Chains A and B, each alone.
Chain A
């Protein structure tokens, strides 16, 4: 599994950058663990001082105060462990998200078209968040689960090596059962995750079609069905769970049995029933301390088992992220040479564009675009109209040939589904010109045919636009995007089916406004399969088999 190992390496690389904070978390965890041991030792000593040596309680105030101090220290260290782990996790997640966002910017509009935008957003937002538990808790605990039991074992061995041996008897079994727990957790994670996802899909499927169910008068039956599906899922899940829970029960069992064995060994040893080994040297202090340390020996391992599913979900998330990071952009990002012809704005020379599956989609073709020119490109869907626009915009590098553009040329882009950001109408306009004042915005709205509507709104251009353009009809959204182009200074305007969702009247007006843009000296390229845009253009080229053919007007 090359994929799994690269994602593991990527995660490890991210974690290495946080080793300072993670180290601090481990150090705090060690301090907390050692102060716990010191508390227990002091407790055992106090019990001996009281019960065996018969010391007065009043003479023991200092040890009691030290105990309270140790508790404070432990609380502090515990807080420090969690805070340091959290800081590491927050920084690591921020860096991982930054890497993903950089990659998305490198891939550009062409690179992201292969993905569903919601699933990309899921990767960049939710999968990055899924790293939290792994970094903040699992990584420090992995060291603590190794170090603390060793320290405890050493102390118990020093107290009574036979008691340590009883703890150690369970120890070789621990890696085995940890693996079982891990496998259980992973299987649980995977199976549970899949089953839950399947059930959620069923639920979402029915919710999405609820209007249809209402139309057919079948909502009551569907409600029963939703309940039955969830109940059926329950019955099928419980069987694998029985096994999965068993593996962690085994770890618990060994922890409990070890405590019981140590207790009985120490008890019988203290009574003098055991003459073997160090048992006859047991005192109440050593015996009690060995007993108190036994649960602490297993505690770090139990915590690790609890965090094990954090690891599984982080590794799963990392795979998706690494797959995205490994995609290669289809453009170099190098600036292009200036055009050779004096009056040209863009030149394409002997350009070809290949598609990994479909072969050659464009070319070889040549194209020169002059300022003030309005060029229409027609062709059946799939002929490569959008690819040509993407090439002109620089979203895509040609596989051969050369694209040359004027120095400092700004581009404006508009397609069928314009971008509408959450915010006011003004916010949406300012995307194109951050410094634009209200008058300029109004003029642009007028030009796009939205002026009258916006003037009639109580909040005018400050009227909020909902999430993803909610509240705007398709035509209104299109006009807003158009207003943005009027507002921008772009000298090359690329439009992909700009009048698709407009009626014939509106379409004519939009095209007239675009003609005015061309008259300002901007160069326009319109890709469309509709008749009207083609009629308005100065020049009409048809794309056929990846090549451009001049179409005579008329």
Chain B
């Protein structure tokens, strides 16, 4: 929370990230300033020129002899006109480039942060709407420079430079412009940000709440309709919408107030410059054309202030995005030791002793004093219904989860002492959900062994009977598998994930429903070949039901994953006939 951490502290990591590109940022802001200066110069010089020619024309008509150089100002006016266009064009292009570079930096940084999260934090964040919000938050921070920092800095610079310029002829006018527009600038940035902070911070969360409730409603439409609760749910949605729109109305009114004040401040600025300039002219301190130029230059500043209120009223949204991303950073687990004890060669023993594990917010723990021992070379099958903790068991054994209590050991060593890379190299896990990346077949396989030669890839594909299929594809191993492997059938994806595992040389293999989605004849053929590869390794199978049809090669022992916390399920007899007893 910003209140606790302070705005600067919340934004500090992101400002540091921006700081790495400070040269580019300065150049971008410079181009912005140049475009503004040219716009200002165009109007000011034109006003000066017309007044000068008007006065000269009157003098000439009165018979005075005087010469006015029309070519230098005329050239200046044309020059400003062209500079303004060119500078604006370059500025947009250059800053867009910068923004995209920053995006790459931000995405890279956030990915590194996410890679350091443990299984528990990641498990909460699998949902696609969470991922969408993550990318939206990154995009929000991406615009920190272009929407907030640069316009505010350029506007302040322009106000001060112009005030200084005016002070050369009329110190009073310079001072008045500096104070009127300085106060306005503070209000339009800091004041607007404060005004909109609470509402703009809530906005994204309210939108997300509306979306979440609606998804709930759509998924449970059958139940809601039959229970007759749709009308009540509709009212609930409308309440959230009303709250959202109250905030939006408030923010819109704040922003409108800001734009109106920006216009008023620029107006009062040029009015005071005109009054004080006229005083100075009457005192003979400056010429008539210069007197006209002063208010016109101030008038051109409205371009610099116009975008500030809208951007700063929404400042809370930027802050909230930064807070959410910072929270991820804080959730990062203590990095697994880069150096540590090395695991012994060959098959590895696995032991879980009195392990307890509870997910945050869960009604009951997944494990409450669970123990499991797997001797080197042993093959144990653990069975339990979905939700009984099979995936959590795999995550504990691979170090992605750390138990709340109890000890996990591998190869006779505590898991926490083993170097991260060693753990990744020596333990292989086929997770329940097949995870393929939107990349080629080869790239998905090489995830397991980056240096693997093509012939090895073909060999493992042959083991899972995918080689013929892959050979028939027009692009062979370069065929892309689509998002999450969507272009493959469920069975093909499963087999590809299994083939990927075969490229490794682990001492412990964890197979979570290895043949899910495969027909039994195919599963039996693959199991036979798998048996040979599993020789000399410890194996932990995780399956839904204890059955002989699972084709698990060489199971030594079965163990049930009884969920200790799930209560025995026995409704008291007669409860429906006579509820009064209870």
Residue of B nearest to A280 (CB): B57
What is the 8 Å Cβ interface bit string for chain B, positions 33-76, against chain A (1 contact, 0 not)? 00000000011011101111111111011000000101001100
Stretch touching chain A among B78-86, B191-199, B348-356, B528-536: B78-86
B447, A78: Cβ atoms closer than 8 Å: no
In the bound complex, how far is the Cα of B276 from the Cα of A361, in angstroms? 87
A272, B100: Cβ atoms closer than 8 Å: no
In the complex, whether B259 has a CB less than 8 A from a CB of chain A is yes
Q: A390 — which chain B residues lie within 8 A by C-beta?
A: 222
What is the 8 Å Cβ interface bit string for chain A, positions 221-241, against chain B (1 contact, 0 not)? 111101100110110011001
With A94-B245, A271-B53, A472-B363 known to touch, is A43 a contact of B424 (CB < 8 Å)? no
- Restricting to A474-529, which residues have a CB under 8 Å from any CB of B? 474-476, 481, 484, 486, 488, 490, 494, 501-503, 505-506, 509-510, 512-513, 516-517, 519-520
Q: B55 — which chain A residues lie within 8 A by C-beta?
A: 51-52, 284
Closest beta carbon of chain A to B250's beta carbon, Å: 10
Residue of B nearest to A214 (CB): B400
In the bound complex, how far is the Cα of B132 from the Cα of A263, in angstroms? 52
Closest beta carbon of chain A to B57's beta carbon, Å: 4
Closest beta carbon of chain A to B331's beta carbon, Å: 13
With A121-B211, A446-B575, A517-B576 known to touch, is A71 a contact of B271 (CB < 8 Å)? yes
In the bound complex, how far is the Cα of B421 from the Cα of A129, in angstroms? 47
Contact size range, A: 35 or more
B220, A205: Cβ atoms closer than 8 Å: no
With A64-B275, A256-B42, A291-B46 known to touch, is A101 a contact of B237 (CB < 8 Å)? yes
In the bound complex, how far is the Cα of B234 from the Cα of A124, in angstroms? 13
B241, A97: Cβ atoms closer than 8 Å: yes
Residue of B nearest to A40 (CB): B299
With A109-B222, A221-B450, A422-B216 known to touch, is A86 a contact of B128 (CB < 8 Å)? no
In the bound complex, how far is the Cα of B54 from the Cα of A215, in angstroms? 80
Closest beta carbon of chain B to A58's beta carbon, Å: 10
A271, B57: Cβ atoms closer than 8 Å: yes
Residue of A nearest to B52 (CB): A267
In the complex, whether A143 has a CB less than 8 A from a CB of chain B is no
A226, B107: Cβ atoms closer than 8 Å: yes
Q: B259 — which chain A residues lie within 8 A by C-beta?
A: 78-79, 82
A82, B437: Cβ atoms closer than 8 Å: no
Stretch touching chain A among B4-12, B20-28, B278-286: B278-286
In the complex, whether A350 has a CB less than 8 A from a CB of chain B is no
In the bound complex, how far is the Cα of B94 from the Cα of A200, in angstroms? 22
In the bound complex, how far is the Cα of B420 from the Cα of A87, in angstroms? 57
Stretch touching chain B among A246-254, A337-345, A368-376: A246-254
B220, A418: Cβ atoms closer than 8 Å: yes
B43, A295: Cβ atoms closer than 8 Å: yes
In the complex, whether B219 has a CB less than 8 A from a CB of chain A is yes
Stretch touching chain A among B169-177, B460-468, B564-572: B564-572
Q: B437 — which chain A residues lie within 8 A by C-beta?
A: 205-206, 209
In the complex, whether A270 has a CB less than 8 A from a CB of chain B is yes
In the bound complex, how far is the Cα of B567 from the Cα of A272, in angstroms? 102
With A288-B54, A418-B223 known to touch, is A212 a contact of B268 (CB < 8 Å)? no
In the complex, whether A120 has a CB less than 8 A from a CB of chain B is yes
In the bound complex, how far is the Cα of B363 from the Cα of A477, in angstroms? 11
Residue of B nearest to A54 (CB): B282
Residue of B nearest to A201 (CB): B483
Q: A291 — which chain B residues lie within 8 A by C-beta?
A: 46-47, 50
Q: Of A122, A204, A253, A257, which is within 8 A of B135 by CB?
A: A204
A230, B207: Cβ atoms closer than 8 Å: no
Closest beta carbon of chain A to B135's beta carbon, Å: 5
- Restricting to B329-359, which residues have a CB under 8 Å from any CB of A? 359
B222, A490: Cβ atoms closer than 8 Å: no
Residue of B nearest to A120 (CB): B218
Closest beta carbon of chain B to A234's beta carbon, Å: 4
Q: B223 — which chain A residues lie within 8 A by C-beta?
A: 412-414, 418-419, 431, 481, 484
In the complex, whether A47 has a CB less than 8 A from a CB of chain B is yes
Interface contact tally, CB-CB below 8 A = 436
Q: B53 — which chain A residues lie within 8 A by C-beta?
A: 266-268, 270-271, 287
Q: B279 — which chain A residues lie within 8 A by C-beta?
A: 57
Q: B474 — which chain A residues lie within 8 A by C-beta?
A: none
What is the 8 Å Cβ interface bit string for chain B, positions 401-432, against chain A (1 contact, 0 not)? 00000000000000000001101110111010
B92, A503: Cβ atoms closer than 8 Å: no
Q: A124 — which chain B residues lie within 8 A by C-beta?
A: 214
Q: Most chain-B CB neighbours within 10 Å: which of A72, A226, A238, A473? A: A473
Closest beta carbon of chain B to A277's beta carbon, Å: 16
Closest beta carbon of chain A to B309's beta carbon, Å: 10
Closest beta carbon of chain B to A473's beta carbon, Å: 4
In the complex, whether B124 has a CB less than 8 A from a CB of chain A is yes
A234, B218: Cβ atoms closer than 8 Å: no
Closest beta carbon of chain A to B428's beta carbon, Å: 8
Q: Of A75, A204, A219, A420, which is within 8 A of B131 by CB?
A: A204
Stretch touching chain A among B152-160, B288-296, B372-380: B288-296
In the bound complex, how far is the Cα of B53 from the Cα of A486, in angstroms? 93
Q: Of A72, A90, A208, A470, which is within 8 A of B435 by CB?
A: A208
A230, B260: Cβ atoms closer than 8 Å: no
With A47-B51, A227-B104, A474-B386 known to touch, is A415 a contact of B222 (CB < 8 Å)? yes
- Restricting to B423-480, which residues have a CB under 8 Å from any CB of A? 423-425, 427-429, 431, 435-438, 447-448, 450
Stretch touching chain A among B108-116, B518-526, B550-558: B108-116
Stretch touching chain A among B143-151, B225-233, B319-327, B488-496: B225-233
A457, B363: Cβ atoms closer than 8 Å: yes
In the bound complex, how far is the Cα of B271 from the Cα of A505, in angstroms? 86
- Can you report 9 A-B residue pairs in the complex whose CB atoms are below 8 A from each other? A50-B288, A52-B55, A79-B257, A121-B218, A212-B435, A215-B431, A223-B115, A256-B42, A443-B582
With A71-B268, A214-B424, A434-B232 known, 11 other A-B pairs at CB within 8 A are: A50-B288, A245-B93, A252-B84, A253-B85, A262-B46, A271-B68, A288-B292, A395-B222, A413-B222, A484-B227, A509-B569
